[in-house]
Structures are given as structure tokens and as C-alpha cells.
A and B are shown apart, each in its own frame.
Chain A
Amino acid sequence: MTIATVLAFSELGIFVGLQDSSSAIIGRTGGDVWVMKSGTAYFDAGKPMLDGIRPALAAHACVKRVRGVVTAFVTALTEKTSPVGAMLVGVETDQAAVVPWEIERGLPSDLKQWLNVSVDSLDQQRFGFAESALGESFKIQGLDVRVSVVTKGIKAFALSPYVFADIESARAIAGLSRGQSCYWIVDLADPRCSDDFLRWVPERLGAQGDVEAKLTSVFERQSQEFWMSGSGAGIVLKFAVFLSLAVAAAVVIQTLNASVRDHVKELAALLAFGVTRAQLIHFVLWQAAGLTLLGAIPGGFATLLVSRLAFDAGIRIALSPAVFLLGGAGLCGITALAAALACRSVLRIPVRLVFV
């Protein structure tokens, strides 16, 4: 049961952790509406839009603020490693949203410095940095950049390193002009304007290319669906979750069933002594409940330990209350199924076995 608990919680946690990471930047950046090139299915796929969109968006009566986000797949070159593919994310660091997050060393404002970037501590080895990457220099797209912020635990679904920078630095690295951005994030003065604003964007901005607007929550969900349901890795992950739950179920069913199968003669003896089958079923159900509690509690602690070890190895197991609730419900369901099968076995014990 302990093994089953660790399996179920860990796999669910990995699933939720990767699902979160597939849309984490969108959620962290916030805003009410994201404006992007039509057909952008997930965050990392952002393409630069033409100049002039920001002032056009700001002209809408409902718009309170417009922020840009630049994203580009870049090649990082350090002295100690071969070129490393990375996802550059440029954000307006003077705006309210705290991106990047999970900062281990440095301050978000340090990224305002020209060509300063952040690196995640879990990716330090990939960049060839020994201890802390803070203060290290390397090249991105041929430009010299300096690490002024170190984060811990920010991972893309595809596991390529995220490198954050101020949007101006990011534009310089990605070769974009000052007015260009891959996303425009709009904060509305009144969220009730959102429907009107979503209709207005393609009508007003049609001339600036194929542009569409999505509610932040919709884009988050789309990004998650792309990775979790549309990518091979997501499907493999779902299969792994299913497999781990199946293994957990097999372990619990096997354990409970063995407790009946291995004691068939003892249980038949109880029947001979006048114990009713209902009492035996009661006995099995108590055993199942005890097994669940005795296994799930140490299993929960073991999962916390596993998640800590996994995090240090670069795998995020998101053990949120929802994961515990879902995992707990799953384990209860598995135990109920196992108990039902064990009860079925109890009902089939032939009492005459006592003399065989």
C-alpha cells in the first residue's frame, strides 16, 4: 500500500507539475487578454507580430495597460559546453508581474540591466557552470550576456532551459524592433469588456496581419492541452499515470486478495465455527481500511521525500492539495475495488475445505 501510495501520488504529481509548467509563464504573467499571431497553440510557439499593435490596443477604451512578451528559441554558447538550445523569454521587468519567479539569487530588477539574463539552477550544469551561475557570462545568438538572476525549478514542458531577460534585451537578442513583440498582454479596466474586446481585436488589427486575442485562462488551457494531449510526451505521460495507477491497483488487489487466498483454510475454519460470511466480509473490510491507513500515511511521507529528491534532480512533483485529494480518492477507489474482490473471494470459500 505504501508503494501504491508513492506510485499514485508521484505520478499524479509529475503529471500536474508538467501540466503547470506547460502554461506557468502565462499564469504568472497574468493579464486579462493575450493578443498573439493567429494559430499560436502554446506559449513557446509565439511569433513576432508587426509594429504598431501596442498603440492600437492601448487606444481601446477598456484597456488599462498593455505589456509585451518576447519569446524565441535561441542558441546559447558557453566556454565549457557545446551549444545549448534555450527558450528566451523577454518581459517588461518594470511592470507589476513578477516574472521570473522562484528566484534563488538576485532580484527581478537586476534583469533591467542591458543583456542581463536569468538561468535556472537546475540547468546550470547544462550551461557548464560549476557552482552558482550568478555573474557568469556566455553568448546567446552571438551576443554576450551576463547572469544576474538565478531561479530554481522553472522548467519548460519540453525541458529546454528558460532564459529570462528584460524585453529590450530580448528584442536585441531575437532581432526584433522596439515596437515588436510575440505577445501583447492586455489588462482591462473593466473585465466585463472582455467579450467586446475579443471581437474588436481582429476587426481593428486585421490590417496588421493575422492577429487574434484570447482570454488568459483560455490560452493557459490551450497551452496545457497542446502539451498534455497533443504531444507525444504528454500522451506518454498520461499512459505512465495510467500505468502507475494500474500497478498501484494491482499491488493493493494482490495484497488484499492474498490475505484471503493465503488464509482460505483459516477463514473456512471460522465459517465452520459458526462465524457468518457477513462477519467475514466485515473483517475483510476492516482489514482493507487498516491497510489503507497504515500504507497511505507512511506513503504520503515517502512521497514528500521522493518529491524533494526529484526536485533536486530537476523533476517537479507538484504535491498540491488537489493532487493529494485526487490521489487519495484514487487510492480509496482502488482499495474499495480490492476489498470488493476480496469479499467476493470470501463469499466463495467452500466451508467443507476445513477437512480437506
Chain B
Amino acid sequence: MQLTAGAVLEAENLWKTYDTSEQEFVAVRDVSLCIAPNELVLLMGPSGSGKTTLISMLAGLVHPSSGRVVLCGVELGRDEFELSMLRRRHIGFVFQNYHLFPALTALENVSEILGLHGVPRRDALERARAALAAVGLADRLHHRPDALSGGQRQRVAIARAFASNPDLLIGDEVTAALDSFSTEQVMHFMRDFADRRGAVLLVTHDHRLEQYADRIVEIEHGRVTSTRPGPRRPSPVPGLA
């Protein structure tokens, strides 16, 4: 398979097998996938279909048993430090349960990551403020996660992912814990990010998200069963000026 020029992420013949005590378990079977810049891709499938294992491999968090992943033109190897640097440079993450530090404010949750990435403190704070303002949380900078609603927490997590200007945003069930209104807000930010800055890959069960997607990839028993175009629908973020 030839690598696609300009692709943000390309996976080729990915396999992942786990040796259990009784038998070999195949979590991902021969998956190939390409994500272009400004594309929002949904990865859908039932529980246990291999979605999480697949995005873990695509993000360089889990090594594939065979096959390869190329992120922004660089093939992912096995060196932990190099993988960390690649993720730092190119990937932002949004998680179902946010994974925000409860003792830190919204501003600190965003700026600390930038600080750990080597951004000077003043710049980190400025970028964090801008990222939080961009997701409509300019008035919640100094709130701790427990003082925010689920939707607001997820927006802090999105700001954290956006702040480092990644090329690819990977999200895992990012709307699973949100109500319809918050889901709509979050997905508009995702769509906006895809349109203006980079690519988005979201794992979800939620068929309501299809309306925001450029492409929907279905996976079952570790194998891609279908790929179809989605009806993308960018629009202003509801509830936010």
C-alpha cells in the first residue's frame, strides 16, 4: 500500500493480538485507514469491536502486533520517548471522563500541559486563556472541575487538547456523559476544529454524531466492515455568541 501524500494519519494492515492463557485473542484484524487534513472521521462499532485498541495503536499508545502507522509523515516506532515527542507535537486527546486534575482550575488544567511541553509560563497562561475563551469558558477560568457541569468539563478538556495546536484530535466517547445540548456544543467545536485547523478522529456509539462527520468507519470483531461518507453540517455553536 502506498502512503497517501499529505495524510495526517495513515494506518496500514494493522493487527493486534493478545496472548491469553488459553488462546490467542485478535483485537484488531488487518485495518487500514487514512485520515486527511480537515476531515472528521467517526469510528463506530459495538462494545468489544476493537475501537479502543485501534485508536490506542493509531495514537502510539499501544504497539501493533503487525502493520504500521504513519503520523504526519513519521512512522511510529517503539521508542517511548520518540512516541511521546510525536504525540506532543501532533496529537490532542479528549476523553469520555475528561481526566482533568480535580485540584487544578480550568486555566491550570490547560496551561500545565503546555508548561510540561516546554512553553514558558506566561505564554502557556495566555494560550490557555485563549483556548478556554474559544470554547466559551472565559468566565470559568478559575473554577475547579467539581464546580463545572459535565459539558463545561468536556469543554475544558477540548481546550486542553486545542491549546497545543495539534494536527490530529483523537476523542473517545467524548459525548457519552453529556446531555443533548452539551453534545451539540462539543460537536460544533470538533467540527470547527476540523474545518479550520486539523483532523478529528472520534470513537463513538452515538449515531447523533454522524451529522457532523465527513466519514464514518464501522468496525466489528476488529475488522472494518464499512466506510461511508457522513453529512457534514458546520454551523454556529449553539448557546454561544
Q: Are A273 and B93 in contact (CB under 8 A)?
A: yes
Whether A354 and B61, one on each chain, are in contact in the complex, defined by CB atoms closer than 8 angstroms, is yes
Chain B residues closer than 8 Å to A354, beta-carbon distance:
61, 93, 95, 99, 172
Expressed in whole angstroms, the Cα–Cα distance for A274 and B61 within the complex equals 10
Contact call B95/A279, Cβ cutoff below 8 A: no
Question: What band does the interface of chain A fall in when counting residues whose beta carbon is under 8 Å from B?
Answer: 20 to 34
Give the docked Cα–Cα distance between A268 and B89 (Å). 17
Write the chain B residue with the least CB distance to A268.
Answer: B99
B95–A275 contact, CB under 8 A? no
B61 A352 Cβ-Cβ under 8 A: yes
Chain B 94-117 per-residue mask, 1 if CB under 8 angstroms from chain A, else 0: 010101110000000000010011
Check B52–A274 contact: CB distance below 8 A: no
Task: Please give, as numbers and ranges, the residues of chain A lying within 8 Å of B117 by CB-CB distance.
Answer: 273-275
* Residue of A273, A352, A354 with most chain B CB atoms under a 10 A cut-off: A273
Q: Is A275's CB under 8 angstroms from B116's CB?
A: yes
- Do B52 and A351 touch (CB < 8 A)? no
| CA of A265 to CA of B86, assembled, Å | 20
* B3 is an interface residue with CB less than 8 A from chain A: no
Cβ contacts A251-283/B at 8 Å (1 or 0 each): 000000000000101101111111111010001
> Which 10 A-B pairs rank lowest in CB-CB distance, beginning with the nearest?
A274-B88, A269-B99, A274-B87, A275-B116, A355-B52, A274-B84, A351-B61, A355-B172, A266-B99, A265-B99
> Once the chains bind, are A269 and B61 in contact (CB under 8 Å)?
no
Q: Which residues of B contact A (CB under 8 A)?
A: 52, 55-56, 59, 61-62, 80-81, 84-89, 91-93, 95, 97, 99-101, 113, 116-117, 160, 164, 172
A8 to B: closest C-beta gap in Å: 26
Which residue of the partner chain B has the closest CB to A356?
B52
CB-defined contacts of B164 to chain A, threshold 8 Å: 273
- Docked-complex contact B84 and A276, CB < 8 angstroms: yes
A258 to chain B, nearest CB (A): 13
Q: Which residues of B lie under 8 Å from residue A268 when comparing CB positions?
A: 99
A:325-356 near B, CB below 8 Å = 351-352, 354-356
- Sample 6 A-B pairs with CB under 8 A, ordered by A number: A266-B101, A272-B59, A277-B80, A279-B116, A354-B99, A356-B52
Contacting pair A263 B101 (CB below 8 A): yes
Q: Quick check: A266 and B81 within 8 Å, CB to CB?
A: no
Expressed in whole angstroms, the Cα–Cα distance for A199 and B230 within the complex equals 105
The complex places the Cα of A271 from the Cα of B160 at a distance, in Å, of 14
B113 lies within 8 A of A273 (CB) = yes
Main DSSP-derived SS at the A contact region = helix
Instruction: Compute how far the CA of A272 lies from the CA of B56 in the bound complex, rounded to whole angstroms.
Output: 10
A171 to B37, CA, bound (A): 103
Point out the residues of chain B lying under 8 angstroms from A270, CB to CB.
113, 116
> A352 vs B53: C-alpha distance in the bound complex, in angstroms?
9
Whether B172 pairs with A275 at a CB distance below 8 angstroms is: no
Give min CB distance, B75 to chain A, whole Å: 17
Residue pair B84, A275 in contact (C-beta under 8 Å): yes
15 A-B pairs besides A273-B160, A275-B117 with CB distance below 8 A are: A263-B101, A266-B101, A273-B93, A273-B116, A274-B91, A275-B113, A276-B84, A277-B80, A279-B116, A352-B56, A352-B61, A355-B52, A355-B55, A355-B172, A356-B52
Q: Which residues of A contact B99 (CB under 8 A)?
A: 265-266, 268-269, 354
The answer on a CB contact under 8 Å between B85 and A274 is yes
| Chain B residues closer than 8 Å to A279, beta-carbon distance | 116
* Distance A275 CA – B172 CA, assembled complex (angstroms): 19
Question: Which residues from chain A contact B87 at a C-beta distance below 8 Å?
Answer: 272-274
Docked complex Cα distance between A2 and B56 (Å): 42
Q: Are B61 and A272 in contact (CB under 8 A)?
A: yes
A283 to B112 alpha-carbon distance, docked (Å):
11
B95 partner residues in chain A, CB cutoff 8 A: 265, 269, 354-355
CA distance A263 to B97 in the complex (A): 12
- Are B85 and A265 touching (Cβ within 8 A)? no
Identify B89's interface contact among A274, A276, A277, A283, CB under 8 A: A274
Cα A355 to Cα B61 with chains together (Å): 10
Mark interface residues in A155-196 (1 if CB within 8 Å of B CB, else 0).
Answer: 000000000000000000000000000000000000000000
Report B81 CB to chain A, min CB distance, Å. Answer: 6
Most chain B CB neighbours (cut-off 10 Å) among A277, A283, A354, A355: A355
Q: What is the distance, in angstroms, from A273's C-beta to the closest C-beta of chain B?
A: 5
Closest CB in chain B relative to A267 CB, distance in Å = 9
Q: How close is B27's CB to chain A, nearest CB, in angstroms?
A: 12
